[in-house]
Amino acid sequence: MTGYGISDVPTIELGDEEQNLLTSLGADATQSALMAEAIILTDEWDHVIGPASKIAAHKGTGAYHRAFSVLLFDSKKRLLLQRRASDKVTFPDVWANSCCSHPLHSEEEMDETNAIGVKRAAVRKLEQELGISPNQVPLDAFHFITKMRYSARMNETWTEREIDHILVIQADVDLSPNPNEISETLWVSQSELEAMLIDEDGTAGVIAPWFRCIAARVMNDAWWQAIGDSDALDDLVDEEIHDMGDVSHMLPDAVGADLMTALAEVKPLVEARIERALTHTSHARLSGAMMHLVKGGGKRLRACMPWMVARAVGDSHAGLLDVGAAIETIHNFTLVHDDIMDDDDVRRGRNAVHIEYDLPTAINAGDAMLAIAFEAMAVAEGIEHDMLPFLVKRIGRMVRRVSEGQQLDIDFEGMESVTEEQYIEMITGKTAVMFLTCAEIGAYLSGADEETVQCMHDWGLAVGLCFQLMDDLIDALSDSETLGKPCGSDIAQGKRTLMVIHALRQPESDTKATLLSVLGKGDDASQEEIDAGLKALADLGSIDYARERAVSYHAKAHDCLNQIPDGPALRALRELTDFQLERIS
């Protein structure tokens, strides 16, 4: 790439699947070529990772990448807006700031000295989109002010995840808009822009989420007053990356991601935080023990829940990822100690920590993980100090309830009979309390009102109870290959699941005797005996009873979600509610 050329930009060859997708959407040759441009992938803090095609950074889960937004003012202090063309692949027909696009993965546009790279990209795109001659917008006329991080999903296919560099320039320019990029332009005063932002009828048109964030949450009166005054603009410069979170709800008719996509968006961000926290020690062996189960994988469902709940009921921000990482760290701490107490040698297909290392190291690693989790929350981004008492109290309660649930589970082994109420209390502690805590905290940190926070607490409790009941059912109804362990192992181990508790309440019969003959037999039970025990559970109506209870919690969870105003992020929560139930439907 040389100069500000448009035809010689760096590109990445698109695969057949990507080409076919663009064709199916009716993208013309120009827009398809633009989707092959090599843009700059970054992490959340704008550190360069490498190149990716524009389509790869915007399709599916998307990926954080560098972008710029130009705010072009004329000598009358009016701001130039553009309406994106209907031919645009992403976010067509919306009103946006003067120019918004991406610097390319090239030496010229990756130069971070005085933001010269993004300024060069801005000049290039102002010419391509608006026909503005480069000599009307010289590089030294641009003022870099700040950065903004946000996510915005348009539909199931397309999303934006950007570190947006915001540039201000004042210039009287000649416009010749490219109809393939822009359908309309408009010069607005501060009061006219404010009227567009609060237009409830939508008569002014839809405003792009990123521009709404800039105009309503980043740009203030001081920006307008500083136009034309270079020193005043320089005073506005900060070193921040303003965190907007997920702002998909700002786009009318946005379609939210499905559960798997929603998890895939958040999971790497949470895992990076977990690894950073657990490896921040000079003790390599301790760090290895703490990371052992984390490296074993997992869906990170609990870790992603605070973020997923927050964007469904309020505002999301990076602090939710820090809290999610802390809760996932605590979850893994409980697993380390559970394996010791249960004398289990394998977890997630690998040696348990006390087997891979040794018993004292495993205990020590678990203790350290608990401490690190609270330490990480205390310095989480975007969480005010007055929020910490709530977080400490709720997560402290969670750890206590998990311990109580574990102790109940241990006590059950020596009890002749266990009631249904005791069982529900036990699984509330061992499983459901983490779900309800993630949901409650997510709602609280989003700024939701007390009623909504309680609603999401109730949703998390219902989902957690359904989750555990379904886990018990899956053990009874799935084949060994699906489970990764012998089916019916809970019966052989004598676990007092809801099914077993129900069966033991039934009158004496040959069927009940068959169940009792295998219950708790352990390794001495043959698969044939276990299968007979499972059949006995079914014949006694115990499997149907447990399924009915799971379905009732499932319905209660959906009742909670029905109280939440509809929005794009609600889809993932509904699918999460259905997740376990669908495995044996």
CA 201 – CA 205 distance, rounded (Å): 9
- Helix or strand or coil: residue 552? helix
Six-digit token string for 412: 């059950």
Please report whether residue 303 resides in a domain: no
Q: Residue 1: what pLDDT?
A: 38
Residue 481 pLDDT level (bands cut at 50, 70, 90): very low
The percentage of the chain sitting over the pLDDT mark of 90, rounded to a whole number, equals 79
**Highest-confidence range of 283-297, 372-386, 400-414, 445-459, by mean pLDDT?**
445-459
Section 45-50 average pLDDT: 97
The percentage of the chain sitting over the pLDDT mark of 70, rounded to a whole number, equals 96
Residue 366 pLDDT level (bands cut at 50, 70, 90): very high
Q: Residue 525: what pLDDT?
A: 86
Please report whether residue 315 resides in a domain: no
**Which residues are CB-neighbours of 176 under 8 A, at least 6 positions away?**
130, 131, 132
Alpha-helix runs per DSSP H in 343-479: 353-356, 359-378, 388-412, 420-427, 433-445, 450-477
Which residue would you say has higher pLDDT here, 103 or 526? 103
**Which residues are CB-neighbours of 566 under 8 A, at least 6 positions away?**
none
Residue 217 pLDDT level (bands cut at 50, 70, 90): very high
Among the ranges given (119-123, 165-169, 526-530), the one the predictor scored with the smallest mean pLDDT: 526-530
- Helix or strand or coil: residue 554? helix
Q: Residue 585: what pLDDT?
A: 54
Six-digit token string for 305: 């829940």
Please report whether residue 580 resides in a domain: no
Q: Residue 494: what pLDDT?
A: 85
Section 556-580 average pLDDT: 95
Six-digit token string for 533: 């025990």
Tens of pLDDT along 327-365? 999 999 999 998 898 888 888 888 999 999 999 999 999
Among the ranges given (71-85, 170-184, 282-296, 337-351), the one the predictor scored with the smallest mean pLDDT: 337-351
Tell me: pLDDT of 2 over 50. Answer: no
Residue 484 pLDDT level (bands cut at 50, 70, 90): very low
Which residue would you say has higher pLDDT here, 486 or 322? 322
Count of the separate structural domains present in the chain? 1
**Which residues are CB-neighbours of 520 under 8 A, at least 6 positions away?**
492, 493, 494
Q: Residue 28: what pLDDT?
A: 84
Please report whether residue 47 resides in a domain: yes
Q: Which domain holds residue 187?
A: 16-250
CA 476 – CA 469 distance, rounded (Å): 11
Section 58-79 average pLDDT: 97
Q: Residue 344: what pLDDT?
A: 84
Please report whether residue 160 resides in a domain: yes
Please report whether residue 293 resides in a domain: no
Average pLDDT, rounded, for the chain? 92
Please report whether residue 337 resides in a domain: no
Six-digit token string for 298: 């997992």
CA 16 – CA 24 distance, rounded (Å): 12
Q: Residue 256: what pLDDT?
A: 94
- Helix or strand or coil: residue 252? coil
Tell me: pLDDT of 401 over 90. Answer: yes
Please report whether residue 143 resides in a domain: yes
Q: Residue 515: what pLDDT?
A: 93
Section 218-242 average pLDDT: 95
- Helix or strand or coil: residue 407? helix
Q: Residue 502: what pLDDT?
A: 96
- E strand or H helix at 73, and its extent? strand 65-73
The CATH number of residue 195's host domain is: 3.90.79.10
| Rg of the chain taking only CA atoms, in angstroms | 28
Residue 249 pLDDT level (bands cut at 50, 70, 90): very high
- Three-state SS for 162-223 is EEEEEEEEECCCCCCCCCCCEEEEEEECHHHHHHHHCCCCCCCCCECHHHHHHHHHHCCHHH
Six-digit token string for 456: 């999401």
Q: Residue 480: what pLDDT?
A: 46
